[in-house]
A = this chain, B = another copy of it.
């Protein structure tokens, strides 16, 4: 604890995800005082056809 879930579109590289987990963990430790080894990060990827804003999916944009 804390548990952090990052939901984002598919397409980031493995290096980006590695850095994401590292830097988000640092940010949480620095601001909440949590012990680093208690911080858990989950990444959830979305497909453009499963994500819509204002009633329109990203996959339907021209």
Q: How many residues of A contact B (CB 8 A)?
A: 51
Beyond A4-B4, A16-B33, A42-B7, whether A22 also contacts B56 by CB under 8 A is yes
* B18, A8: Cβ atoms closer than 8 Å: no
A51 to chain B, nearest CB (A): 6
* A6, B21: Cβ atoms closer than 8 Å: no
Q: Which of B1, B6, B19, B60 contacts A4 (CB 8 A)?
A: B6
Bound complex: CA of A45 vs CA of B7, how far in Å?
Answer: 15
Q: Which of B7, B38, B55 contacts A3 (CB 8 A)?
A: B7
Q: Which of B22, B37, B38, B55 contacts A21 (CB 8 A)?
A: B55
A15 to chain B, nearest CB (A): 9
